[in-house]
């Protein structure tokens, strides 16, 4: 997707379904991203059940010493 540098997809608690899909997105330098516009674009490209229920835009993703994205930290950060 234009303007997206990197992303991570995680499961967050959902009261009815147990878990919901959430995307955490890092924009490219100088790019202005809008979560609602991103969801609208995804609706034209992928199946509805694959579309994240929530998109958060962050400056960077937490990584461990090996450079892997620490999804457990993202889950803790966005669980509420």
pTM (predicted TM-score) = 0.87
In this prediction, residues 4-14 reach a mean pLDDT of 94
Structure confidence at residue 80 (pLDDT) = 66
Structure confidence at residue 27 (pLDDT) = 97
Is the pLDDT at 76 greater than 90? The verdict is yes
The number of distinct structural domains making up the chain is 1
Alpha-helical runs (H) found in 1-80:
35-43, 71-78
Structure confidence at residue 1 (pLDDT) = 83
Give me the CATH number covering residue 10: 3.30.300.30
Rounded Cα gap, residues 56 and 25, in angstroms? 6
Domain that holds residue 20: 4-78
| Residue-wise pLDDT tens digits, 13-72 | 888 888 999 999 999 999 999 999 999 999 999 999 899 999 999 999 999 999 999 999
């Amino acid at each position: 997707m234009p303007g997206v540098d990197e992303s991570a997809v995680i499961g967050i608690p959902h009261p009815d379904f147990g878990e919901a899909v959430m995307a955490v997105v890092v924009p490219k330098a100088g790019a202005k991203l809008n979560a609602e516009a991103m969801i609208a674009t995804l609706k034209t490209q992928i199946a509805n059940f694959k579309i994240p229920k929530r998109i958060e835009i962050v400056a960077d993703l937490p990584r461990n010493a090996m450079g892997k994205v620490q999804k457990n930290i993202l889950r803790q950060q966005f669980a509420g």
